[in-house]
Every structure is written in C-alpha cells, then in structure tokens.
C-alpha cells in the first residue's frame, strides 16, 4: 500500500515548496506532478523546484500542458513560442511543420527537466468549433488528425519523452466545455475514434479521457465509465496508461470530491489528475488510502495499475 501515491498526478501551490508541502509529499509518497504558470517563473526557479522534488520523491512524471497556441504553461523567454496545432495543420507542409514543432517542444521540455507533455489533442475541430477546442486540434478531418497526431507522437517518443493523446473518446461536435459543464453527445463515430486508433498503433504511452457522456455507450461520464475504459483496453487494444482529465473540473463534479476520485479509479484509470487545491488533494488521497486498506478488490486494481505504470515508465524514465 506504500505506493498508492503513484496513482495521482498532483498540482502544487506555487513556485517553491514549503516544509509542510514537502512533509505531505513524503508522507503520501507522491511521485507525479503537473505544473502550471503559477509554478513556473524562471529557468533557475524551475531547476530548483524540480531538483528538490526529485531529491524527495525519486523519478516520477513531471507533466505540463504544452500544446501550443492558446494552451501553454511555459511562455517566452522561458520557452519558444509554439503555434497552435490547428495553425500547423493549415501550413503548406503540415507534416514537416508538426514534426519540427514537436521536436522543438520535446527538446526544450527535456532541457528544463519535464518528461511528460499532455498533448496532442486528437479531437475533431475546426475554426467553427467552440472556443474551448477551436485551435487546440489539428482539423475536423479524421484522417488528417490521425496523420499529424501520429507524427507528433512518434517525434516525442524519438526524443525520449512521454506524450498523451486526448480527449478520449473525442470532444468533436460538443458545444459545452468540460471545464465548466458536463457535455453530452449521442454517439462516438468511427471518425472520432480513428485518430486514437492510429495513436495507439504509433505507441503513444498515455491517453486522457474526458468529462463527457456518450449516450449510446453509458449514462456515466467517460471519467467514471468502465464501459469506456473497456472500449479502450479491449476493443481498441490500448496497452498504455489511462489518465483522467482534471478531477477539479466542473464537468467531473457529479458527486463529492472523495467519491469522484474513487469512482474514476475503479472505472479503470491508472492515473488521477488533481490540478488545483494541493491541500484538498492531500485530504482526498489520505481518504483513498484508508479506503484501500479495507478493500481487497481495490488493492487488486491498484496492483494492476501500478504494474502498467512500471511497464510504461521504465521505457522512458532513467533507472
């Protein structure tokens, strides 16, 4: 039970670590962290923060959302300006542009000490899509999204960094933003799934689900749906890590925070993303550990998830 902290990717409060935060990280044996603008001030500060984390936790995921365009956590002069995926897809030689941009992104992330980029977005969207997804995806054409997404993924793998296909099973055609609401769609189409299928064939190490109800599959959001995870693992034969989107989002707020964390894990996710309130996350993780101590079935699921983690992370993180 000592490794339960590895099931969570946790957001930190600020640009340094207090003694209290370090003590909580040590007590819960947290290993994986996600970083936002609030945590990232300068190269020297980032190096200091990551060094301290690495000393306390050993090697683990150091994740950011560095998609390009409107969604980036690292800005100039800390990081090169990255065009959006949609902008890259509109250029004269999109495949070459995506490859070069992904390589630039991966190399700069590696230099700063990050090893996991929560990109690329494989939802189907164009310039007429809602603003929350409009520039974040390559295109509305499934074949083009699959082609460019695969290039992006293979480039990251070649550079030795983890990346993540998102948001499964696809936000294409949805009007509501899961950050603020719980969207629904009547069905998932073959076009929605095709970019993910090609990403899995390319060896993408992780996929992120989304807070979305697909009516013809389940009345539960994908975040809490064993049926969606079974589709991923059994029908589509995905062998990598499955992570939630941020469980602090309003689209996930269908129950108490403790219950949604537990339900997301039981549904089949390997990693639970807790991006916001660090101390609230600590309480939730403590409660999760207590629950696991008294549940044989939960212990079995934890062992399975940690086994998948070890298999994937050993391929990317130095021993």
Average pLDDT over residues 190-210: 98
* Residue 245 appears among annotated catalytic residues: yes
Of the residues 15, 179, 191, 218, only one is catalytic, namely 179
- Give 76-85 pLDDT, tens digit per residue: 999 999 999 9
**294 in catalytic set:** no
Evaluate if residue 1 carries a pLDDT over 80: no
CATH number of the structural domain spanning residue 137: 3.20.20.300
For residues 230 and 217, what is the distance between their CA atoms, to the nearest angstrom?
11
Q: How is residue 221 written in tokens? A: 């959001």
pLDDT at 72: 97
Specify whether the CB–CB gap between 250 and 181 falls below 8 A: yes
pLDDT attached to residue 131: 84
pLDDT score, position 23? 96
Range of the domain at 202: 4-316
Tell me the whole-structure pTM to 2 decimals. Answer: 0.96
Structural domains counted in the chain: 1
Instruction: For the chain, give the percent of residues with pLDDT over 70.
Output: 99
The pLDDT value given to residue 129: 83
Structure confidence by residue, pLDDT tens digits, 218-253:
999 999 999 999 999 999 999 999 999 999 999 898
pLDDT (mean) for 286-309:
95
**How much is the average pLDDT of 192-218?**
97
| Distance (Å, whole) CA 210 – CA 32 | 20
Catalytic residue among 123, 245, 246, 270: 245
pLDDT at 199: 99
């Amino acid at each position: 039970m000592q490794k339960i902290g590895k099931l969570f990717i946790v957001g930190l409060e600020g640009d340094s670590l207090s003694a209290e935060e370090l003590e909580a990280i040590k007590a819960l044996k947290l290993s994986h962290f996600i970083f936002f603008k609030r945590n990232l001030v300068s190269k020297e500060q980032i190096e200091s923060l990551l060094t301290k984390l690495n000393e306390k936790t050993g090697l683990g995921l150091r994740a950011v959302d560095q998609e390009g365009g409107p969604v980036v956590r690292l800005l100039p002069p800390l990081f090169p300006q990255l065009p959006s995926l949609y902008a890259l897809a509109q250029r004269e030689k999109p495949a070459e542009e995506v490859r070069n941009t992904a390589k630039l992104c991966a190399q700069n992330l590696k230099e700063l000490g990050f090893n996991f980029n929560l990109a690329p977005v494989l939802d189907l969207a164009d310039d007429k899509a809602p603003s929350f997804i409009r520039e974040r995806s390559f295109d509305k054409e499934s074949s083009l999204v699959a082609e460019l997404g695969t290039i992006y993924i293979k480039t990251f793998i070649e550079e030795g960094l983890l990346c993540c296909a998102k948001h499964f099973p696809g936000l294409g055609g949805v009007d509501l933003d899961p950050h603020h609401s719980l969207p629904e769609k009547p069905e998932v189409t073959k076009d929605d799934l095709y970019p993910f299928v090609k990403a899995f064939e390319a060896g993408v190490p992780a996929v992120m689900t989304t807070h979305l109800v697909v009516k013809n599959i389940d009345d539960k959001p994908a975040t809490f749906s064993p049926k969606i995870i079974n589709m991923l693992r059994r029908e589509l034969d995905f062998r990598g890590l499955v992570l939630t989107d941020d469980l602090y989002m309003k689209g996930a707020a269908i129950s108490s925070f403790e219950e949604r964390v537990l339900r997301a894990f039981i549904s089949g996710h390997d990693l639970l993303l807790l991006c916001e309130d660090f101390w609230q996350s600590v309480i939730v993780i403590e409660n999760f550990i207590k629950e696991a101590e008294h549940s044989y079935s939960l212990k079995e699921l934890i062992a399975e998830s940690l086994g998948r983690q070890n298999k994937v992370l050993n391929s990317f993180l130095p021993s």
